[in-house]
Amino acid sequence: VIAGIIPTTNPTSTVIFKSLISLKTRNAVIFSPHPRAKRSTIAAAKIMLDAAVKAGAPPDIIGWIDVPTLELTNLLMTHKDIATILATGGPGMVKAAYSSGKPALGVGAGNTPAVIDETADIKMAVSSILISKTFDNGMICSSEQSIIIVKDVYDEVIKELKLRGAYILNDQEKEKIAKTIIIKGKLNPAIVGQSARKIADMSGVKVPSDVKILAGEVSEIGLEEEFAQEKLSPVIAVYRAENFEDAVEKAYRLVELCGAGHTSVLYTDERKQNRIGVFACKLRTGRILINTPSSQGAIGDLYNFKLEPSLTLGCGSWGGNSVSENVGVKHLLNYKTVAERRENMLWFRIPPKIYFKRGVTNLALRELQGKKRAFIVTDRFLFNSGVVYNITKVLEEINIGYQIFFDVKPDPTVSTVNEALSLIRTYEPDVIIAFGGGSPIDAAKIIWLMYEHPETDFKDIAMRFMDIRKRICKIPELGKKVQMVAIPTTSGTGSEVTPFAVITDDETHIKYPIADYALTPNVAIIDPDFVDSMPKSLCAASGIDALTHAIEAYVSVLAANFTNSPALEAAKLIFKYLPRSYAAGKDDPVAKEKVHYASTLAGMAFANAFLGLCHSVA
């Protein structure tokens, strides 16, 4: 059962609306009318009850309090059988609903400002405001309470207002009206929903018989200015603004004065999306209407298709409400979610192209024909020993320029990456070639990322996460600006086919494993020619590293058929050929080749199944 608190401002339409959304959600509703509007509220409730019963509803599906009092309303809201409260009314009643101990959907007061800038369609703006402000004699809480006009079009807007039936009050008349609409700091209930002519008569002001609204030109914004407050009648304040920015500021202050969270309106050229954006960011209102009559536009399904039809308009935490949207059917339903056990989709992601075989580098690099400039990342040993010549020779033959960065140390650091970036940004390559062991390839991956997306913050990409698919800070897609080619010269890390890069922060001296599939190279070239001369110690250490990768991938909780195969094949090759490779070195080229392939296969496995405790504590 729902408790429906009904205001004096729209006692019939609110009853009809709350009855409809209650019945649509199979809820009974009991209304507590406002004492000043109890007869119209009860009449509307009876009409809805008769229609519901005629359609087959239970005879007591809609009820009401015949003689409403504050005590009976409180008793209704706190009754044990009330499931939730739909509260529309003054701040005191809404606060009481929220304090009742029951779930409540209360809505706050409005003080809608309408800004008209110098790019607006003046006739359309004024016509819209008059349509809105005269609807129900301004009783709708979303109706405009003030117009803020940029000075360049101020006189034109005033002229249009007069033409369409607005009466512009002089200073004496404005003072009389002000004393009538607000009495002792509160809205005078006697003016609510009355015509402009009657309010003028109540104030001792003579106006034409066909007057539609009363407009007072004011400059102050505060509780000391009666026209700056919610008036719920065809009375409106008019402000002059120096420019658009000043108009937005005035609108913001009016909303914050006594209408936070409700509604605001901007009349502008819709092509001025930057202005709409500024207005939307500044104003703390749940409904921001553009070129729209606010009474009709805010209640939804008129003049726009974004707002749900509703006569209960939430103001969010800005206005002390639980919701900031138009209250509707969905707010009166409890939702059950049946969540069956499911596991995340798995995948097998590796570089799109993997070239392998002795001497394959010469042919594979020729696939880059058409590129202009290559940036080669390697270490000082490979540069000084001349091994990198195997790369540059092919690049020269296919007319690709190159620059070599060879200062990568065994554990690449952020400062090393920054040093490379200062060169690469000047050189502007269209391909990066990582040539070496894990360190040059890892460094190249971070250089690649920072070069393509200079806005990336290292601290963001180094943040921890539980699932590589759910990073707190996602790494953007790479490869649009520059292609990445990885050529390993050791048989251990498998970095040429993985989405991982390990880098050390110079300041904290912490080693960070960066993981994202965006870091997977575009091309991997697995050429055993580059590992023939590895010293025995490096052969053994890198071989055991590859074996560890294979074992950890195989026993991983994310292991799958697609990762088990390369993991098992890698382990098989290492057990068979690593002792031979260690013992005979380059005199056993077959063993060297098989161990090199095993390293890449293990890399493919752990790139998708990931590693375990051993690497976590390493």
**Any idea which residues carry the catalytic annotation?**
141
CA–CA gap between residue 550 and residue 574 (Å, rounded): 10
Neighbour-count burial for 178-207, b at 16+ CB within 10 Å, e otherwise: bebbbeeeebbeebbbbbbbebbebbebeb
- Reading the block at residue 189, the tokens are 């209930």
Task: Give the separation between CA 371 and CA 392, rounded to whole angstroms.
Answer: 14
First to last CA, the chain: 62
322 vs 106: CA distance, rounded Å: 7
What per-residue string of b and e applies to 161-171 under the rule 16 or more CB within 10 Å gives b?
A: beeebbbbbee
Q: Is 532 exposed, middle or buried (0-12, 13-18, 19+ CB in 10 A)?
A: middle
φ/ψ of residue 206, rounded to 5: -90, 125
Between CA 594 and CA 574 the distance in angstroms is 8
**Residue type for 60, please?**
D
416 CB burial (10 A radius; 0-12, 13-18, 19+): buried
β-pair type (84-87, 213-217): unpaired
Whose tokens are 């010293």? That residue is 535
Distance CA 230, CA 213 (A): 15
Burial of 386 (0-12, 13-18, 19+ CB in 10 A): exposed
The whole-angstrom separation of Cα 126 and Cα 605 is 68
DSSP state of 306: S
And the tokens for 579?
Answer: 């002792």
Give the orientation angle of helix 561-584 with respect to helix 589-609, to 10 degrees.
150
